[in-house]
């Protein structure tokens, strides 16, 4: 695999090299076995000591708000403002982006965010995860993964962290997540995800989610971008003057999350909207057949807030329906 080193003079990742004070961008070719993909990477070398921050967007290829917001922030930043360095992967799953694929990498039909830290001799997604882990996540002192609802999902904005029992790591994860300023902060692991892989290695890590449904309206992109800027200020990577854009909010803390999946294939009729508060046992939707007959009623297993909701009428057995977060 390629080298990933940083010091006070230069920053090198996968053949790209940024000298002090430089921003360097380029496409990095990565062999995934089934195909060679070109991954857009931006290095910003502030030239001063400081954290190396790894940032990814587009782990899921149709999550456009995160892709648009990360590109905007890293291409706008003045490298002279950066303490330490930033390694940004603008579209982490190019084959999924090109295919407008929901959840899955078309090269192997796997969800990239379930196979971290990856396997360099595995399938396409496992190889891609291994490359991202080795070049972006593992060498970082802080890792941020930007998502939104997928093409078929609406969501309320939220951040996510995992606490690992190391006070300094946990404090930084929490400070950065709170600075992002989204509606909710969910605490808990997601096995196979980027952020859990980082946390397992002792690296502070934050998931951030704004927007969805295959759209990238200016207000959502501005909110994701402003959140990232505040997060980088909170991390000490940027000066307070870099925290531009719409203001954040105080995140409501959620300690538990229930993901509901469909037992059957059919037509999904939700009875709730994102951000709604539901009680345990409350009906939240139905899956019907082609003629409208109810095949299965779905009740909330816990009370809480609807964090994300699938908005497509088409539903497949085993696919997510919605998630409920609770404090």
Nearer to Zn ion, 56 or 251 (CB): 56
Nearer to Zn ion, 151 or 254 (CB): 151
β-sheet bridge partners, residue 130: none
Nearer to Zn ion, 193 or 237 (CB): 193
Structure tokens at 124: 């396409």
Nearer to Zn ion, 46 or 58 (CB): 58
**Smallest distance from the beta carbon of 211 to Zn ion, in angstroms?**
11
Q: What is the 3-state secondary structure (H, E, C) of the chain?
A: CCCEEECCCCEEECCEEECCCCEEEEEEEEECCCCEEEEEEEEEECCCCCCEEEEEECCCCCCHHHHHHHHHHHHHCCHHHCCCEEEEECCCCHHHHHHCCCCCECCCCECHHHCCCCCCCCCHHHHHHHHHHHHHHCCCCEEEEEECCCCCEEECCEEEECCCCCHHHHHHHHHHHHHHCCCEEEECCCCCCHHHHHHHCCCCEEEEECCCCCCCCHHHHHHHHHHHHHHHHHCCCCCHHHCCCCCCCCCEEECEEEEEECCCCEEEEECCCCCCEECCCCEEEEEECCCCCEEEEEECCCCEEEEEEECCCEECCCCEEEEEEEC
| Nearest Cα residue to 194 out of 159, 126, 150, 145 | 145
**Smallest distance from the beta carbon of 158 to Zn ion, in angstroms?**
12
Nearer to Zn ion, 16 or 307 (CB): 307
**Smallest distance from the beta carbon of 112 to Zn ion, in angstroms?**
9
Strand 252-254 relative to strand 184-187: parallel, antiparallel, unpaired? parallel
Residues near Zn ion, by CB under 5 A:
60, 63, 147
**Smallest distance from the beta carbon of 153 to Zn ion, in angstroms?**
9
**Smallest distance from the beta carbon of 129 to Zn ion, in angstroms?**
14
Residue 10: Cβ within 10 Å count: 16
**Smallest distance from the beta carbon of 58 to Zn ion, in angstroms?**
9
**Smallest distance from the beta carbon of 63 to Zn ion, in angstroms?**
5
**Smallest distance from the beta carbon of 120 to Zn ion, in angstroms?**
23
Nearer to Zn ion, 64 or 268 (CB): 64
Nearer to Zn ion, 43 or 156 (CB): 156
Nearer to Zn ion, 50 or 212 (CB): 212
């Amino acid at each position: 695999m390629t080298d990933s080193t940083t010091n006070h003079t230069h920053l090198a990742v996968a053949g790209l090299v940024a000298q002090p004070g430089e921003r360097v961008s380029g496409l990095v070719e990565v062999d995934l076995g089934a195909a060679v993909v070109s991954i857009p990477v931006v290095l910003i070398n502030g030239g001063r000591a400081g954290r190396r921050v790894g940032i990814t967007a587009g782990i899921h290829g149709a999550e456009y708000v995160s892709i648009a917001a990360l590109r905007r922030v890293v291409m706008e930043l003045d490298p002279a403002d950066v303490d330490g360095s930033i390694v940004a992967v603008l579209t982490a799953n190019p084959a999924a982006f090109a295919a407008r694929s929901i959840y899955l990498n078309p090269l192997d039909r796997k969800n990239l965010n379930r196979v971290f830290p990856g396997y360099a001799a595995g399938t396409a997604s496992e190889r891609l995860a291994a490359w991202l882990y080795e070049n972006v996540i593992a060498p970082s002192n802080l890792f941020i993964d930007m998502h939104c609802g997928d093409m078929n999902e609406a969501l309320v904005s939220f951040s996510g962290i995992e606490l690992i029992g190391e006070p300094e790591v946990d404090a930084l994860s929490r400070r950065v997540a709170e600075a992002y300023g989204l509606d909710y902060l969910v605490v808990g692991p997601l096995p196979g995800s980027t952020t859990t892989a980082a946390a397992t290695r002792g690296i502070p890590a934050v998931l951030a989610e704004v927007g969805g449904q295959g759209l990238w309206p200016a207000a959502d992109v501005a909110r994701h971008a402003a959140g990232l800027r505040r997060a980088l200020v909170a991390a000490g990577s940027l000066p307070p003057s870099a925290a531009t854009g719409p203001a954040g909010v105080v995140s409501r803390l959620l300690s538990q999350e229930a993901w509901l999946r469909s037992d059957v294939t059919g037509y999904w009729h939700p009875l709730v909207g994102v951000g709604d508060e539901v009680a345990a046992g409350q009906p939240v939707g139905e899956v019907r057949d082609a003629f409208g007959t109810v095949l299965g009623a779905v009740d909330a297993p816990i009370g809480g807030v609807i964090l994300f909701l699938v908005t497509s009428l088409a539903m497949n057995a085993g696919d997510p329906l919605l998630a409920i977060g609770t404090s």
